[in-house]
Structures are given as structure tokens and as C-alpha cells.
Structure 1
Amino acid sequence: MLALAACVPLLVALVGTAARVNARVTALLALVSGCLIAALLFPQPLAPLWSSFLGMLPTLAEVLCIILGGLMLSRILDAAGAPAHIAKWCEHASSHRSSAALLVVLGIESFCESVTGFGVGVTIAVPILRHLGFSALSSATMAMLGLVVTVWGGLSPGTIVAAELAGLDVTQLGIDTAWTVWPSAVVAGLAVVWIAHPSARPGHLHLVEGAFTGLILAFGILLANMTVGTPLAGAIGSLITVVALLIRFRLGGDRTPKPPAALVRSAVPYAILIGGLLPLNVAFRLAQITGPLHLLASPALWLLLVSAISVAWFAFPRSEVRAVVARTLHAWRPVAFLTTGYMVLGWLLTASGMSETIADAAARLDVGAVALVPVFGAVGGFLTGSNTGANAMFAGAVAHLGTVLGLSPSGIVGATSQAGAIGSAASPARIALAAGLSTEERAERDALMRALLPRMIIFNLLTIVSIAGIVLLGALWR
């Protein structure tokens, strides 16, 4: 009975989303129900509970600043015309449409999503794909597939949240998560190639190129996690993928177009961001620096700093700066509310013992419970529309489940995090974003959303089953 009671806040979130209740209202109802159940059935001493809450606040503040900085930078680059410059360059990068689509989706979109996060990569990819001549449905679908890097979106606030709630090392969690990204990346690469050939089956070489691109992305992310740390892993892995594809294009006879001056100018903020974060993260990791000093290498600080530099770099007038700030805050407030709500709920589930109760009940299935772990993550991602929200809901429970079953808590949480990222790609908010960018007509947009949902569900099922297989094999071989 206690396990069922502990599941009530999660069920409230699920039912509210299914009933299309306002997302903020749903998050608030889930949090309120969690507080009531914790107070009535899982009482804890007030002093340690308050101390735990205060200990969570710095992480919450860092995550909210990362979100703000990512959204701010994306709005600034959009106002500077960066997506249009990228589209013109991609149009001449390869003579094969499927190859160009791979460059956009698993290269450029993945990089932009890794740096700014929260679906911003989709806003860049859809216009480029439409400019390349793909239909509204094909463009929206391929752009959604590029969200396989959502775990590292916005420089990894979701991983920071999961590590905090589960008591894990951020870097090790990033490495363990990277081991589970390859099924999603390979399936996405194959799907992009297939969609890019709507009138005929793609040849074997094109399919090999799609699978190979996915593997390169996954390998690049894993390598970056191991060498420079988690926050920059998605961005560096995406850049490795772009370079690998351009080399492949050159070997195939395509001439890599020279980046125009406008594109180079638009890329300067990205260069500053990576040029600042990369050496600091490597140095801090080698020197094992922790504590308050780690904020100097935090994505939160650098995203906000680069946003301020970008305003001066593009010489925006004051009126444009005010407009950009207003648009950023308008977009940030609902995301910040949801992130705060679900992160506090995740903390409450962990601190009150509800997560342990859920995990202990699931552990009765023994190894069979491990196969359900990716499902938890996917459901959380679908409900909250973000990897951060999914991790906030389930990281504590899943880590405890791993401990009970004698498995690596970091490995189990990593698999859940990747599944949460995939689940968020099928969330109503992400689908509405892709459909709205693909067409401005309301009737066509509604039809597009109805067509997108089953496609993303199929993608979710394929990748989640693959992730579950990886986790289950690891559990059987322990």
C-alpha cells in the first residue's frame, strides 16, 4: 500500500498530461499531492529535511541559470540571422539530400541543441531542412530525431540534477549515459536516410552512411565525456560528427563550401563558449577542483557571459536588446516553473523515502525490474517534456533500485536519463514546436501533429527496447 501511495504524485502528473491539463497546473498538483502524502505517510524529522532542501537549492539555481543562458543565447543568435546563414552553407555541403540531412540533424542541430538545449536545435533544423526542399512532415520528423542528444542539451543540466538527487559523480554518470546513446543515434541516422528518400528505398551505402553517422556521434559523445567532462560532451561529439561527414563528402567528390563571413561572424559566440569552458573543465578535472570554485567552469556562468558578449558583438540597438530579453524571459518563466516543480518533487520523493519505497517494491521483480527502468525514464520525459524533469522524478528511485539489486546505480540512472531524453522528444510540447515551425496554417499544423506522434512513438519504442536490452544484458552478466 505504501508503494502505491508513493506513486500517486507520478500518477497525478501522468493523468494531468493525458487529460491535457495545463502543464504548470499539473506540476503543481503533483507537487502538492507529494507533500500531502509525505507528511501523512512518510514523516521525516524537520531539521534534516530542511537541511537537505537547502543543500538542493544551489543545484536548482545553477540549472535555472543554465536554462536562462541557453535560451538567451539562442534568441540572440536567431536575431543575428545565424539559422539563415547556416541554411545557405548546408545547401551546398553535399550533392546528396540524405547526406545533407544527416549533416543538419546529427551534426548542426545536435551541436546547437547541446549548447542551448530545450528544443532550440529543432528551431534551427526545421527551417534548414525546409530550405533544402523537404516536406513539412519530413522536416519536422527529421528535426525531432536530432533530439537524441537531449541528455547533453543546454550543457547537461539534466545530468547535474540526476547526480545531485542520486548522490552520484556527474562525470561518471555522463560516461555511463553515453554508453546507452548509440542505439538512439544509429536508429536516428537510419531514419533520417529513409525519410530523405520518400519516393524510393535508399541504397545500402546510404543506409551504411546513416548508421555510421549515428555511431560517430555516439563515439564522439563518449570520448568527450571521458576526456573533457559531461557539460561539453554533446557539443564536442556533434562537432566530431560534422567534421567526419565533411571528410566523407570530400572523399565522395563534393567540395566543402567556404563559410561566408556572415556565418563565421555568427559562430564567434559558440567559439567563445567552447574556448572558455573546454580548458577550464579539463584543468579543473585534472586538478580535482571542487566546491565553490567549480562555478568558474559552470555552464551557467559561461552561457550568461557569452550572451552578454554576443549583444556587444552583434551591436544590437537598445530596443532590440530589450526585445530579446523580453522574449527570453517570456520563454524562460514557464520552463523554470516546470523545472523547479519537478525538481522539488524529485527531491521530496528522495528525501521522504518515497523513492526507496517504490524501488523496493520494483526490486521484487529482481532482474526483470531492470528492463522497466528505461520505461520509467521515457514516461518521465514524455510527461515533463525535458530530460531534466524526467531525471528529477526518477533519478533517486532508480539509483536506489540499482543499489538493492547489486548493480551500478550510475549505470542504471544513465540508462534512465537517456530514455527520458528520447521520451521528451515525443512530448506534446516538442511535437507542437516542430509542427509550428514547419507550417503556419493551423489546419495543416494540427494534421502534422497527428502524423508526427505515431512516428515518434515508433522511434521511442525501438530505442527504449534497445536501451532496456543493454541494461538487462549488463544485469545478467554481473
Structure 2
Amino acid sequence: MTWKQVIDPFGNITLSVLVAAIPVLFIFWALIIRKMKGYQASLIATGIAMLIATLVYGMPVKLALLSAAHGALYGLFPICWLVIMAVFLFNITVKSGQFEIIKHFMGSITADRRLQALLIAFSFGSFLEGTAGFGAPVAITAAMLVGLGFNPLYASGICLIANTAPVAFGSIGIPITVASQVSGIPELPISQMVGRTLPLLSVMLPFYLVSIIAGITKAREIWPAVLVSGISFAFLQYVSSNFLGPALPDVIAGLGSIICLMTFLRVWKPKTIWRFANEPAATSNAHISYTGGQTIRAWSPFIVLTILIIAWGIQPIKDVLNMTGMLQFEFPGLHNAILGSDGNPIPKLFKVNYLSAAGTAILLAALIVIPLVGLTYRVGITVFKETLIQLRFPILSVASVLAFAYILNDSGITLTLAAVLASTGILFPFFAPILGWLGVFITGSDTSANALFSKLQYATAQSIGVDPVVTVAANVSGGVVGKMISPQSIAVAAAAGDLVGKESQLFRFTVKHSFFMLIFICVLTLAQAYVLKWIIPTYEMLDTKRLTTLPDLSRGHTYLLILALLLAALAVAIRSIASKRKQSPALTNE
């Protein structure tokens, strides 16, 4: 059985778009107006999408069901796999009592919620986005903020909003790599163009985040720290994206802004410590202090996590892990059964990269740190079971959201929405970011949105005489502000922030900020296309006939050996710290 996608099922693009938009509009209505739970809204939206796909677009019922199953399976792996492991690692840290030390450490830097949000949600989250991506930064940082005592809604909401600045360069630059492969424009000019757009957003984002949680007046009270955080991040993001490429901007900018802000806070403190209205004032117990060794041990889960996530992002290591630990199969009944609008069959392969997946790196980190933080593996198994129970509804939400996304893409509904935006003529640069925003809203991934629309962005820009790198980069940049309202991201943040069943609150919290930032990027892209042309980098198109080189597995094995030695040395050091702690009091009485 084969079936060809239809872009204009009614022969009237206006009517086709109105019908195609129904599932997307339903998600907004269900979460904002009806205030449904996330999994309920996703399941109903999936049903609506299937009805439109089969009755309007003529998609065979069998293919629609298989498409939904394909999406749900992808939702379970690698997305839910990652979320489960991220929350599991955090729960281990809490169960062992080490998170109390982390909270004390953060309080020693600053007890101010505004500054904690900048350090964890903005800077540390950006660092994690650069190494892992695909939901891990929001899952980990939201859980950390809730553990520190943040209001769960604000913790999850600001982590989603903070995650906009780094998404374009996430997972060692994968979104831009995919945009390059699909459009034929080299990675560096796309990275440069995005790196001349997003730093303008990045420099304002810290003030924006603090204003959301505390108000503009309270944000002004810490303007020196806000400037240090925003300017250091934006500067490092600009330099690395323009001169080093798309792989390292998040890692460099995230780590650099952490160092700059922590250094600045040694010489500057806010006049007043700001806390949420319903929580007690910050207290400092002078009779409790922790040694440097105890603090390192408490942070060991995140130290090991960072090392492993960085290692998992190194291509030679990925090659080795994929060579020995990946299953790939053609999805039965769906592979090559759908013909694209160009008549070419669409391959439907399912990859289970069970070793190179980011979730596996987090699992390995958890297994390494369980004895280091003083737990037994028996207790670890109990914590894992509790984590699965905690995440049962978010797992259902993520699976249904991905089923929804796959039906929209496979049926041609997404292409219908894209066709209208592409028909806007000379105004297309203004609407180009909306296409990326729409793609990320539907798929939950800037990488997937770039795979969907980069070629369309390239061809449309050429047809109206605009440099294609402007619109391809706009697809990347517009996508980042759609991440905070993607149902997939909302489900992940709700799971990590203890807001299961309250996804509608989280959606309403972030949606207006998504639109504000989207309009900003749309106006900036229009100016880049026609007014600020000097900002566009010069480049040559990729040679599509380049031969692909086989991976060098020997380098991967060498890196893995170095990684094993590094982790072993770290484990010995932390065990040594733990043994010294047993011989001396854990607390220092002063």
C-alpha cells in the first residue's frame, strides 16, 4: 500500500489551511481555555488529527494508525528514556541527603531566588543544552529549582523560557548541522547568522527571567548581576558561533556565564534577599558548615553527569557506541508507504541507539554515583521504581504528543500550514521564523523543525531574491522560542517540576512570552533581509557530491579508555573524601 501526501485537499488553500489548523488550535484552546491535563489534551488532539488526516487528506486508516504508533514509540525512546533517567538521578541525590548540601552551597553563594534562577535555569541549563539537549536541561534544572524550594510553576516555567537562548546550538550543534544538510548551506554561515540574532535575545533574557518571577522593580535591584550574566553569555555565544562553529556556543557561553556571575557575586551582593511571598525568609545557620570535600561529594552526581554528557557528545565516541549498541529497522507497514508531495517515498526507520542515547549517559551516571553518595543498589532500585510511578502520566503525555506530531507531518497537514507562510512573497522573511516556531511547537525539536522546513526556507528565499541563509537561520532562531510551549516540552517540565496534571497552568505561563520573543525575531529577520544586509556572512554552497568518510573507531576507543580512567580517578577521590568524613564530624560546630 502506498499513498501520496496532499497539500491542498480542498483545491482551495484558504479552506485547506483553516481545516489543517484545527488540531493545533485545539491544543491552544484545551490548555489555555479549557485547562485540560496535558495527556488528555494530547490524546484528543491526536484523535482530531487522525480524523482530519483520514477523512480530509485521504490518508488510509492503517497508515494513520501506524504513523501514530511510530510517533508514540519515539516518544518512549529516546524522549521518555531521557526524562526518566534525569529525574532518577535527581531523586538519588535527594534520597542520599546530598541535595541538602547542594542547597546549603547555593545559599552560601546567594540565597536570593533571582540569582539562583540565573545560575541554574539560565547558565547551567544552557550548558546542559549544549551537551545533551532533547529535554534534559529542562528536566534537570526544573527538578533542581523545585528541590531548592522554588514555587514549582515558576521553576518549570522559567526553565522553559531560559531554554530558548541555547536551543539552536543544542546537542553539540545538531539543529544547525541538520539545517545545513537539508538546505545545502554550510554549517558555519548558518551558525554565524544565528549567532548574530540570538545574542540580542540572550543579553535581554536574564532581565526578562527575573522580571517574570519578581517583577521589573525587583529585577532592577540586581541589574549589575543581570548585566554580568546576560552580557557574558551573549558575548561568548556570539564569538564561539561566529568563529568556532555550532558545536560549542552553549557549552562555552553557559560555563562562562556561570564563572563570571559566581566571581562577580564574591564582590557584590544585593541589598535585600528576595524570596517568594509564600516562603520563609532565608536563614543562615552559622553552626552548620560543610567542608570542600563534602560539597564536592554532594555535587558528584552532576559532575559525573557533565563528564558523561560531554563524552557522549564527542563524535568518535558516538560512532563506537552506535557501532556496538544500536538497533535499526524499517517500521513495518509504514516504511516507504507514504509518498511525499514530490512523489518520492518517505523512509520510516526506527533507531534504538540504546548506548549513545543521552538517557543512557544519565543512567550510567546514576549507577556510578549510587555508591559514591552512600546508597546501596537495592535502595537505588527502589528509587527507580518510585520514579517510574512518579512519571506514569508524563510518559503517557509525551507518547501521545509525539503520536500527534507524526500524524501531522506524515499526513501533509504540516505542509499545508507551511505552504501558506511560503506564499507571502516579499514579506516571507517576517514569517520565516514562524515556520520554525510552528515546526518546534508540533515536533518538540528544533532539529526536527529544521529537517522539515530548511529546504522550503531556502527555495522560497531564492524565489524572492533574499539570501537563503537569512531564512534558514530564521527557521532555527524562530524554532527556539517555540520550544517553551511545545506540548512535549511542557510534559517534560511538568514531570520534573512536580506539576503533573497542571500542564495547562504551565502552558498559560509560557505562551505569551513565546509570542513576544517570536515577534522580536520576526522583525529582526525582516530587517536582516532588506535593511541590515551587511550582517549576512559570505559563503559558498556545499558540494553535495562530497564522499562521506567512515568513522575512525580507534579514536573512539581511545576516548572511551580516557573517559573510564577519568571516572575511576574521580570515584576514588570521592570515596576517599567519604571515608575521611566518617572519621571526622560531618558538621562543624562554631
- TM-score, normalised to structure 1's length? 0.71
Residue 168 of structure 1 and its aligned partner are, at CA, apart by: 4.8
Q: For residues 309-388 of structure 1, what are the structure 2 equivalents within 5 Å?
A: 309-317=368-376, 320-372=379-431
Residue 302 of structure 1 and its aligned partner are, at CA, apart by: 0.8
Residue 259 of structure 1 and its aligned partner are, at CA, apart by: 6.6
Task: Compare 19-28 and 182-191 and name the one that shifted more.
Answer: 182-191
Residue 110 of structure 1 and its aligned partner are, at CA, apart by: 5.3
- In structure 2, the residue matched to 1:270 is 302
Counterpart Cα distance in 1 of 2:103 and 2:70: 44
Asked if structure 2 preserves the Cα contact closer than 8 Å seen for 1:28 and 1:341, the reply is yes
Match of 1:14 among 18, 28, 33: 28
Structure 2 letter corresponding to 1:22: K
- In structure 1, the residue matched to 2:55 is 40
Q: Deviations over 1:342-368 (max 9, x none)?
A: 333333333332222221122222354
Structure 2 letter corresponding to 1:303: I
Residue 30 of structure 1 and its aligned partner are, at CA, apart by: 2.0
User: 1:86/1:364 Cα in 2 relative to 1: closer, same or farther (>3 Å)?
Assistant: same
Q: For residues 60-71 of structure 1, what are the structure 2 equivalents within 5 Å?
A: 61-71=77-87
Q: Which ranges of structure 1 fall in alignment gaps of 5 or more residues?
A: 131-135, 438-445
Q: For residues 354-433 of structure 1, what are the structure 2 equivalents within 5 Å?
A: 354-372=413-431, 389=444, 398-399=453-454, 401-406=456-461, 407-408=468-469, 410-423=472-485
Report which of the two structures shows the higher radius of gyration computed on alpha carbons.
Answer: 2
Counterpart Cα distance in 1 of 2:238 and 2:112: 29
- In structure 1, the residue matched to 2:522 is 468
- In structure 2, the residue matched to 1:26 is 41
SS at match of 1:202: helix
- TM-score, normalised to structure 2's length? 0.59
Asked if structure 2 preserves the Cα contact closer than 8 Å seen for 1:213 and 1:245, the reply is yes
Q: Deviations over 1:168-194 (max 9, x none)?
A: 599888887666543443333224566
Counterpart Cα distance in 1 of 2:447 and 2:262: 38
Structure 1 letter corresponding to 2:308: G
- In structure 1, the residue matched to 2:160 is 147
Structure 1 letter corresponding to 2:49: G
User: 1:332/1:292 Cα in 2 relative to 1: closer, same or farther (>3 Å)?
Assistant: farther
The number of aligned residues is 448
Q: For residues 5-154 of structure 1, what are the structure 2 equivalents within 5 Å?
A: 5-17=19-31, 18-43=33-58, 61-93=77-109, 102-108=118-124, 116-126=136-146, 128=148, 141=154, 144-150=157-163
Asked if structure 2 preserves the Cα contact closer than 8 Å seen for 1:378 and 1:422, the reply is no
Asked if structure 2 preserves the Cα contact closer than 8 Å seen for 1:358 and 1:397, the reply is no
Match of 1:187 among 195, 204, 211: 204
Asked if structure 1 preserves the Cα contact closer than 8 Å seen for 2:67 and 2:403, the reply is no
Residue 404 of structure 1 and its aligned partner are, at CA, apart by: 4.4
- In structure 2, the residue matched to 1:442 is none
User: 1:282/1:49 Cα in 2 relative to 1: closer, same or farther (>3 Å)?
Assistant: same
Asked if structure 1 preserves the Cα contact closer than 8 Å seen for 2:54 and 2:60, the reply is no
- In structure 2, the residue matched to 1:440 is none
- Percentage identity across aligned positions? 16
Structure 2 letter corresponding to 1:190: F
Q: Deviations over 1:72-127 (max 9, x none)?
A: 22222232334432222232325988656643543356557876434442332255
Structure 2 letter corresponding to 1:38: A
SS at match of 2:35: coil
Counterpart Cα distance in 2 of 1:455 and 1:346: 22
Counterpart Cα distance in 1 of 2:65 and 2:114: 54
Q: For residues 200-239 of structure 1, what are the structure 2 equivalents within 5 Å?
A: 202=220, 206-220=222-236, 234=250, 237-239=253-255
1:261 aligns with 2:276: no
User: 1:396/1:55 Cα in 2 relative to 1: closer, same or farther (>3 Å)?
Assistant: same
Counterpart Cα distance in 2 of 1:197 and 1:76: 34
